[in-house]
Structure 1
């Protein structure tokens, strides 16, 4: 009788443990600038990703949280890392920053020089990993949609993106290479070499097609993380 009771308790314990395990979703925080802030709005890339996840029957496995603020550069992300990301106890953090670091050099006479960008980016990743979060890095997409590298700041975007690709490879961190994805798309779909209107509204911020494009690209990376 005692053995049956102990067996019953063991089974109940296993069922309870399994139910908690099944209910726990991976919390994914998207850390970035205005593109990510808008990505958390209706129709944004984070919300579109939720729809994609639901269609694959995986809604019970992921919780998506936006942590983007307009105008942010890598230094801003570092300063609000504790408050806006680590306090949420994320399982995965997707970092999508770099556009303003380059764009604001021309737009506002500010920005972030290359060496400073790499140092602060590395510091963010180390803090996230020390807290037990997995990291996904994204290369900065576009500042202008011309397909032939004739946008004014293509050179700098390529330089920052090249560093991120190499950094991700060395640190064995998943990388969503938005820079390459966007460039390949524009080569194939921008016959008139237009500055905007294909994936962006204003050369930088995403339109509906751009949000869907980014959602697919990042989701393809997220689904590979164990």
Structure 2
């Protein structure tokens, strides 16, 4: 199964039994405000690259289906929230926006500390409060998780997904069954399953595409492809802002880009002040590079908040960095990116550069490793640079042109 074109799960109906009023508003170009209410799977965190999540993708999908739509998407996801945590903030974070539609997705934290009975009661309250405020609501089950988290085993999460379905049936609320959508992938294509997850419990951007597509299908009865998304512009917003403000840009860069990225930026912005910390991953396995990423990445700055934060990580994992299995390759490469991103805003930037940019002559094994790395990188919403076949330009030229595009600056 192609990782970039996952099928719909076949769970949600293609024609809702009771079409939402919101759909009519979208069709007729009337203002629509949708609030996505949830935990870290809903919020914007490093799991998807730190700049957008399924809430944003729902907006993109609906705009594609309804070109006249006047749509505002509001993300009310907070890391660590259970339904018990979320209810006290519902008035401020959800209802004050006077939404026409609420998409509520909880369960992954409830399973660790909220009883099944309380989870059921809390979901009922979320539905009741939304309806009392004049909003329609769709409940979303928690997504399937991988093994490895004793507090959130697949079996425990399945039980809370079932409660969500039961509350939906009891209260005549549409339910997006993300658990079964993810389960469908897991049971049919192991590699595609690896490509959906950022870690044990959180989907990556590719997983968020599936979440959004399923939510939109529940709401509208229509399928929409999110295989291709509009690029985020600028691609390196923090670096661009600091360069334009004539502030020092701090970079952590894997070799050989520790010596190349500073001059490239100074060519685009003469006089720019750039400080680069070298990251030497030469000769290391993917597992060891992951350990380096953890030591250099967001945990360091979370533990020491007074440290000067970087503005950019340049990741250039060597072609020779190996793993014992494909599973380990996906895991370690994903976590190299995860550790190198901000946990939450304010974000720094991250650029991933594939080995062929500095090493155009690759053997068959190196090309295979680069192709696999490309699949992993596509699971995150990060800018990346690779050399296309037949392109013999120098590394410095490729890097300069990529930075100019990402910074929306004149090319050198």
- TM-score (normalizing by structure 2): 0.43
The 1:33/1:189 distance shift into structure 2, 3 A limit, reads: same
1:9-54, Cα deviation, whole Å (9 max, x unpaired) = xxxxxxxxxxxx9553221100001111128953421222222223
Q: Distance in 1 between matches of 2:70 and 2:76?
A: 20
> 1:176 — aligned with what?
176
1:123-176, Cα deviation, whole Å (9 max, x unpaired) = 121111111111100011123169xxx996122212111121122112111100
> 1:213 — aligned with what?
210
> 2:163 — aligned with what?
163
> 2:102 — aligned with what?
93
Aligned residue for 2:76, secondary structure, equals strand
Higher relative contact order (CA 8 A, sep 6+): 1
Q: Distance in 2 between matches of 1:151 and 1:73?
A: 14
Give, in angstroms, the shift of residue 203 of structure 1: 1.3
Give, in angstroms, the shift of residue 224 of structure 1: 4.5
> 1:12 — aligned with what?
none
> 1:34 — aligned with what?
40
Aligned residue for 1:211, secondary structure, equals helix
Instruction: Say yes or no: does 1:201 pair with 2:198.
Output: yes
The 1:62/1:70 distance shift into structure 2, 3 A limit, reads: same
Q: Which has the higher helix share?
A: 1
The 1:73/1:42 distance shift into structure 2, 3 A limit, reads: same
Give, in angstroms, the shift of residue 209 of structure 1: 1.1
> 1:119 — aligned with what?
121
Give, in angstroms, the shift of residue 183 of structure 1: 0.4
C-alpha contact (below 8 Å) 1:31/1:96 kept by paired residues: yes
Instruction: Name the count of aligned residue pairs.
Output: 192
For the pair shown, which has the larger CA radius of gyration, 1 or 2?
A: 2
- TM-score (normalizing by structure 1): 0.76
C-alpha contact (below 8 Å) 2:123/2:167 kept by paired residues: no
Q: Distance in 1 between matches of 2:141 and 2:68?
A: 26
Q: Distance in 1 between matches of 2:176 and 2:169?
A: 12
Instruction: Say yes or no: does 1:25 pair with 2:25.
Output: no
Q: Distance in 2 between matches of 1:137 and 1:54?
A: 21
Give, in angstroms, the shift of residue 56 of structure 1: 2.7
Aligned residue for 1:62, secondary structure, equals strand
The 1:124/1:57 distance shift into structure 2, 3 A limit, reads: closer
- Which of 56, 59, 74 lines up with 1:50 in the alignment? 59
Unaligned runs of 5+ in 1: 1-20, 106-110
The 1:156/1:53 distance shift into structure 2, 3 A limit, reads: same
Unaligned runs of 5+ in 2: 1-26, 223-412
1:81-122, Cα deviation, whole Å (9 max, x unpaired) = 1111110001110000111112xx3xxxxx211111111111
